[in-house]
Amino acid sequence: MTRFNIVKRDDLPKKREWFIRTLAILFSIVSAGLVIWILGFNPMEVFPGMVKGALGTEIRLTQTILKAIPLIVTSLGILVAFKMNFWNIGGEGQILMGALAAAYVALNIEGLPRLVTLLLMMVAAMIAGGIWAFIPAFFKARMGVNETIFTLMLNYIAIKFVTYLQYGPWKSPESQGFPKVATFPDNAILPKLFGIHIGWIIALVLVVLVYIFINHTKKGFEIRVVGESKETARYAGMNISSVIIIAMLISGGLCGLTGMIQASAVEKTLTASLSGGYGFTAIITAWLARLNAIAVLFVCFAFAILLQGGSYIQVSMQIPAAVADMMQGIILFFVLGSEFFIQYKISAVGRNTTQKEVA
């Protein structure tokens, strides 16, 4: 029986590493195509349709960038938490709470200059998102409460709470019974530059800032150490509780900022569906980017193509947009699997009579 030897390899040339990853993504596209084909659609129409729908015209490209912006900012937030091995899957809730705080400022504070209003909204959103992330961080740091379930449950609570406001106390009297929060005044709407709201500048600046924070500051270093080994961190005399809480305040703050950007520039009001699944997609993009802030930029743009392409084929070919969600899963399955071939070397050792097969 052929026996396989699995050995951890120390250094794989970067080139080969990326070759394996590219191969994994190619495989995932082929498998996604297969699934699409089994479900009765023609992948040769679906894939080109998606690319055309995302990049084909200037308007579609704008739509793609509009989807990339919240994805980048949220992914950066998720990245900070994941670096620390803290599984923040509460991005959706943090986005919504940020949007809620921004909406409160936009609808209640009048007469300030536009710049001041917008800055106030951003600060409020970051604080609200930060608080929503602080709660599970506090319990994790103090009592070791499982953060995965905690952050996820807070998503549902945030959604229900915003729905309650939208249908109840915050319902606009001018909406003729339709459950809708009032539209923001012009002062509270992000201006545009080159036809796209300035969220794209915010996103680019944040990519650089988060990169510097994680790789070149003391706090960023501490976050990485806590993520790799709590024992090492403790041995080095770090205050783990405070590292967890600070990292989560940043993580939730960034997600909250996404909420502000979406509420101000895209929806121009507060809605319960404003988070649009970005909190979950960001988990995938952050991981695919190997938790590297610069790589986040490119991965998120690629995923924005996938999302925009998905909604385009829904309209133009009557293919459910959920095909994009499914593809996200398939791509990540393959990339997760490919890590094995990057970390380990496998060689067949010919025939073996005495030993059992190593499964």
Partner 1 sequence: MEGFLAATVIAGMPLLFATTGEVITEKSGLLNLGVEGLMLMGAIMGFVAGYETGNPWMGLLGAMLAGAVGSLIFAFLTITLRANQVVTGLTLTIFGTGFASFMGKSYVGLVVPQMIKDFFVKIHVPLLGDIPFIGPVFFRHDVFVYFGYFLVVAVALYFYRTKRGLNLKAVGESAASADASGINVMVYKYLHTCIGGALCGLGGAYMSLVMMSVWVENVVAGRGWIAVALVIFASWNPIKAFIGAFLFGGLSILGFRLQSMGIHISQYWVDMLPYAATIAVIILSSRKNKKENQPPSDLGKAYFREER
Using CB under 8 A as the criterion, which residues of the chain lie in contact with partner 1 when the complex forms? Answer: 6-8, 39, 87, 89, 139, 143-146, 148-150, 152-154, 156-157, 160-161, 163-164, 167-168, 280-281, 283-284, 287, 320, 322-330, 332-333, 336-337, 339-340, 343-344, 358-359
As measured in angstroms, the least distance from the Cβ of 292 to partner 1 is 15
As measured in angstroms, the least distance from the Cβ of 327 to partner 1 is 8
Nearer to partner 1, 245 or 265 (CB): 245
Nearer to partner 1, 61 or 326 (CB): 326
Nearer to partner 1, 201 or 321 (CB): 321
Nearer to partner 1, 65 or 89 (CB): 89
Contacts of 323 (CB under 8 A, 6+ apart): 36, 46, 310, 313
Nearer to partner 1, 208 or 336 (CB): 336
Contacts of 236 (CB under 8 A, 6+ apart): 225
As measured in angstroms, the least distance from the Cβ of 240 to partner 1 is 16
As measured in angstroms, the least distance from the Cβ of 209 to partner 1 is 25
Q: 242, 137, 216: which is closest to 233 by C-alpha? A: 242
As measured in angstroms, the least distance from the Cβ of 167 to partner 1 is 7
As measured in angstroms, the least distance from the Cβ of 196 to partner 1 is 27
Nearer to partner 1, 10 or 58 (CB): 10
As measured in angstroms, the least distance from the Cβ of 353 to partner 1 is 19
Nearer to partner 1, 72 or 284 (CB): 284
Nearer to partner 1, 152 or 206 (CB): 152
Measured CA to CA, the distance from residue 267 to residue 265 in angstroms comes to 6
Token pair belonging to 140: 């994790």
As measured in angstroms, the least distance from the Cβ of 165 to partner 1 is 9
Measured CA to CA, the distance from residue 74 to residue 173 in angstroms comes to 33
Nearer to partner 1, 189 or 323 (CB): 323
As measured in angstroms, the least distance from the Cβ of 8 to partner 1 is 8
